[in-house]
């Protein structure tokens, strides 16, 4: 499973907007890897930001 899939899985499981630090904490992932994955997900349009610095699946 790719890191992007893990990030999306954590976001879907929580059901609320999360910031990168919380995603890393809940998923047991490295923060830098989460940041890279989120950048890719943003470019692909797979996550959206309902408020500054918080993300949710598109």
Q: DSSP secondary structure string, 1-32? A: --HHHHHHHHHHHH-S-B-HHHHHHHHT--HH
Q: Is 34 left (phi over 0), alpha (psi -120 to 50) or beta?
A: alpha
| Residue 20 contacts residue 30 (beta carbons within 8 Å) | no
* Residue 43 pLDDT greater than 80, yes or no: yes
Domains of the chain: 3-57 (1.10.10.10)
Spatial separation of the C-alpha atoms in residues 3 and 32, rounded to whole Å: 11
SS3 41: helix
Q: How confident is the model at residue 1 (pLDDT cuts 50, 70, 90)?
A: confident
What pLDDT does residue 13 have? 96
> What share of the chain has pLDDT > 70, as a percent?
100
């Amino acid at each position: 499973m790719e890191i992007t899939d893990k990030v999306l899985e954590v976001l879907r499981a929580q059901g609320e907007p999360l910031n990168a630090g919380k995603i890393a904490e809940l998923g047991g992932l490295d923060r830098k890897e989460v940041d890279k994955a989120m950048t890719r997900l943003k470019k692909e349009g797979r996550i959206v930001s309902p408020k500054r610095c918080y993300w949710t699946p598109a």
